[in-house]
Amino acid sequence: MSAGTDLPELPGLDPRWSRRVTVPGTGEDPPVTWHLLDNAPDLTGEARGTLLAVHGNPTWSYLWRSLLPAAAAAGWRVVAVDQLGMGWSQRDGRFRRLADRVAELGELTDHLGLTGPVVTVGHDWGGVVSLGWAVAHPEVLAGVVLTNTAVHHDDDGEIPALLRLAGNPSVHGWATSGTRTFLRATLALAHPPLSREVRAAYLAPYDEDRRAVADFVADIPADPSHPSRPALDAIADGVARLEVPALVLWGPRDPVFQRRYLEDLLRRLPHADVHRFEGAGHLLAEDVDVAGTITRWLGSTFPADSWISPDGAAPAPTPLPAGASLPADSALVTRPLATGAPLPADSRTSPAGGAPVRPLAAVLDERRDDDAPAVVALHPGGTDTVTWRDLATRVRHLALGLHDAGVRPGQRVSLLVTPGVDLTTALFACLRLGAVAVIADQGLGLRGMSRAIRGASPDVVIGIDRGLVGARLLSWPGRRVAVSELPPAQARALGVTDTLPGLTARGAELERAGTVLPPVPGPDDDAAILFTSGSTGPAKGVVYTHRGLAGMRDTLAETYDLGRESSFVAGFAPFALLGTALGSLAVVPDMDVTAPATLTAAALAEAVRASSATAVFTSPSALRNVLATAGELSAEQREALSGVGLFLSAGAPIPPELLARVAEVMPRASARTPYGMTEVLPVTDIDLEEIRRAVAGVGTVPGAGSGTCVGRPVPGTQVTILPLDADGAATGEPTDAPGVTGEILVAAPHLKRTYDRLWATQEASADHPGRHRTGDVGHLDAEGRLWVEGRLSHVVTAPGGVITPVAVEHAAERVPGVLRAAAVGVGPSGTQQLVVVLETDPAVDRRSRAGASLATPGLMSAVRRAVAEACGVPVAAVLRVRELPTDVRHNAKIERGRIGRWAEKALAGGRMGEP
């Protein structure tokens, strides 16, 4: 091995890593010289293992430059090769096929003496080569890491357009080897664009000889007759038998390795940990922190005390036969299954056993002979009502029909159905069948909803017409089932294969013929994927087991005394489904459930009248509109609302002043507001009287104040705080001491199982075992009540210390004429200046509907004074906007991140348009 190669100085590349290695020839084959990057000089002790990293076409080992130092810091050696003919490795003019590349890589690792444990890392066609090596070397293989690659292509589908174009005979030569067009097109796939220096570094080895770039494209086995197809098929079959830990990292914006290739890999590696980086694409290692994710996975998957020393009990490596051709190498498919380091316990699966679980669908068996109404949905055309008996029958028949149509336990079913009878029926049919319901509501907006559904990759989509049109136009995955019967031409246009009425009728026939449903799913089987609001980034899929959903139901029942005798109006879509699970009559008011603010007082009253509802569930934005339209209520409607005994507002923080106004329309209702999130709901609960006592106790109760009091933990739930350090990071050990501000941690029986295909996000949220890191900041007071102070990502790190936003916003909102406020930090971390952005009341401020501007001197002085008196911190600037942007789903969560970015540009002299 030779050091001190003549590579030019390249950004991010330590010259000490660069090596050239000559592998002796075998038979008539001459020696070949490889270039590789090796971080051995950075290791301070014995390596815990080796990462064998293989690039694709037309990159080189420079792709892995960030992995070398990160892995060295974690105690791992990295050997990142330049494939022969690529990068700075030898150009000998030989056309190499897939089998040749796998065999030659094996000869190199034999020459290097890699004895394991080895984790392969691959990208693009380097992923295939690395997997070929992995399948052929089970005796040293410990794991595999893949980024945007593929091992199989369906014969009935076209290869991606970019590869078709590059392989077209009329453009192949000049685009791949004659010019650097193919290289430049690949580098242009980075998000964000690469710097000029990094682009130049990738292009540096390809100034002259680019024949291998062309050869790689020509060797894509796009059809069964291609010479490399047997090698690809052999690798694909071998991958499906790998039992070592696997990590799949994916950039969804990749036009080359599209979603279908990810799904194929996951079918072959069902145990793999997966992380999809929204917004990233083909050059994943350039787009996001792949190196950090890989090293975190290595630390989590292979603890330091789990290794078998390569010099001890582990068997010595068995090299591939000299000159063997991969397709003919029977060892590829007949060697023992790769075992390497033992598979870790699947942290995504809840332990079996525990307390008995009553599934959500059990209520339908319990009430199958009950003719009382179960679901009532009001709409402009009238009212839809279904009894418990009818609902139980519909669910049973639909589950049988879906099963007969090929839907199996564990498959994903996306429900694009508005709340009401059809959605309830479809959801409970999925739960009974064991299919995983994917619920991404329209409140995410079309773009967010599309991203969520693509990420979840459902097998089946059940939708209303509007949902099916979206599925067709946006190419959402999944076989399509219509909620209602469609004309044949429309069904063909939408790609519909079945309808709910048709499947239900088929299920009824099957039941009459004696067909029974599969066994009830287990408590720790996945039940549903629910999506977060997307108010703090792309919406995340949250996976719940049947145990977790049952825990949510039971916690709500115990906290609010809800059950068989209850009836409530659900002005917030999730509660319409939970109502049925509780055994309560659920009423959906006449409103656009995707826009909670469309709920009027009259619509709420009519929903209460239709069911004699005793409880009302809404979001804060819905409550605002109810109060704004209360003057339109008739005497009969007011009388109906006076019978409501419980009012709940959930989904976003609610000011006490707004909650207090509930008495204007529901004078006998106990006004309560739970705190929680999609990952665990509810966490705490509080009523209006307790809020008033908490506010009155500020200054006398230790820890009280500086935020919104959201009450005490609900039964079975534990809340602790991870303290903030001077940089605004949540560190140290969890505590329940009063007055300590930090990130809120939650432990509960109704906690999510995991985030869907977001391994890194899940790891970060669960790094304190048994607890979920909420991303919210707050503190506990001496009476055990939780006060929420904002989001961790919105903490302002000012020179005088950390400032949390909620208390500042509350102080500003007490200034006459201020409707809402957002407190944000502007400037570098540690020296940020506090800026308050206001939305003013048109009744007080005649400029409220004008364009964004600095606040008037009087308003600025009043806000600064109010914040100083309440929080003791200075405000650098006060801005005014027409309307503060909020999240789409709740219409209530202020998007501080977006406002902060806008404020920074505006104060730097940029255009002052609305945020």
For 466-476, write each residue's pLDDT tens digit.
999 999 999 99
Give the pLDDT mean for 62-82: 97
Q: Please, which pLDDT band fits residue 465 given cuts at 50, 70 and 90?
A: very high
Nearest-angstrom CA–CA distance, 99 and 152: 15
Q: What is the pLDDT of residue 172?
A: 56
Using the predicted structure, report yes or no on whether residue 888 has a pLDDT greater than 60: no
Contacts of 509 (CB under 8 A, 6+ apart): none
Q: Looking at mean pLDDT, say which of 123-137, 609-623, 666-680 comes out highest.
A: 123-137
Nearest-angstrom CA–CA distance, 657 and 371: 42
Q: What is the pLDDT of residue 35?
A: 97
For 682-705, what is each residue's pLDDT tens digit? 999 999 899 989 988 887 777 777
Q: Please, which pLDDT band fits residue 59 given cuts at 50, 70 and 90?
A: very high
Contact in structure between 433 and 400 (CB atoms under 8 Å): no
Nearest-angstrom CA–CA distance, 121 and 144: 6
Using the predicted structure, report yes or no on whether residue 847 has a pLDDT greater than 50: yes
Q: What is the pLDDT of residue 223?
A: 82
Q: Please, which pLDDT band fits residue 75 given cuts at 50, 70 and 90?
A: very high
Q: What is the pLDDT of residue 83?
A: 97
Q: What is the pLDDT of residue 173?
A: 65
Give the pLDDT mean for 636-640: 95
Using the predicted structure, report yes or no on whether residue 317 has a pLDDT greater than 70: no
Nearest-angstrom CA–CA distance, 797 and 348: 35
Q: Residue 572 phi/psi, 5° resolution?
A: -135, 115
Domains, the chain, with CATH or none: 15-155+223-334 (3.40.50.1820), 388-521 (3.40.50.980), 689-793 (2.30.38.10), 795-907 (3.30.300.30)
795, two tokens:
């903490």
CA distances from 416 to 259, 439, 476, 638 (A): 21, 7, 12, 34
For 187-222, what is each residue's pLDDT tens digit? 999 999 999 999 999 999 999 899 999 998 889 888
789, two tokens:
């102070």
For 98-149, what is each residue's pLDDT tens digit? 999 999 999 999 999 998 899 999 999 999 999 999 999 999 999 999 999 9
* CA nearest neighbour of 792 among 620, 440, 537, 543: 537
Using the predicted structure, report yes or no on whether residue 598 has a pLDDT greater than 80: yes
Q: What is the pLDDT of residue 695?
A: 86
Q: What is the pLDDT of residue 326?
A: 32
Percent of the chain with pLDDT over 90: 69
Using the predicted structure, report yes or no on whether residue 171 has a pLDDT greater than 90: no
Nearest-angstrom CA–CA distance, 106 and 332: 12
Helices and strands in the chain: count of H runs, count of E runs: 31, 36
Percent of the chain with pLDDT over 70: 90
Q: 278-282, 415-419, 442-446: lowest mean pLDDT where? A: 442-446
pTM assigned to the model: 0.88
Comparing 892 with 681, the larger pLDDT belongs to: 681
Using the predicted structure, report yes or no on whether residue 268 has a pLDDT greater than 50: yes
257, two tokens:
């390795």
Give the pLDDT mean for 481-485: 97
Nearest-angstrom CA–CA distance, 195 and 115: 38
Q: Please, which pLDDT band fits residue 892 given cuts at 50, 70 and 90?
A: low
Using the predicted structure, report yes or no on whether residue 525 has a pLDDT greater than 50: yes
For 26-35, what is each residue's pLDDT tens digit? 778 899 999 9
> Within a 10 A sphere around the Cβ of 192, how many other Cβ atoms?
8
Rg (CA), the chain: 30
| Single-letter residue type at 49 | G
Nearest-angstrom CA–CA distance, 93 and 1: 23
> CA-based angle 163:168:172, to the nearest 5?
85
Q: Looking at mean pLDDT, say which of 295-304, 351-360, 536-545 comes out highest.
A: 295-304
DSSP readout, 682-705? Answer: EEEE-BHHHHHHHHHTTTTSTT--
Q: How many residues make up the chain in this entry?
A: 915
Question: 879: part of which helix (H) or strand (E)?
Answer: strand 877-881
Using the predicted structure, report yes or no on whether residue 600 has a pLDDT greater than 50: yes
Alpha helix (H) residue ranges in 457-522: 465-473, 488-494, 500-512
Q: What is the pLDDT of residue 1?
A: 41
332, two tokens:
């590829």
Contact in structure between 796 and 709 (CB atoms under 8 Å): no
Mean pLDDT of all residues in the chain?
A: 88
The residue behind tokens 């009935």 is: 156
Q: 41-55, 277-291, 313-327, 805-819: lowest mean pLDDT where? A: 313-327
Using the predicted structure, report yes or no on whether residue 251 has a pLDDT greater than 70: yes
Using the predicted structure, report yes or no on whether residue 319 has a pLDDT greater than 50: no
Give the pLDDT mean for 704-730: 92
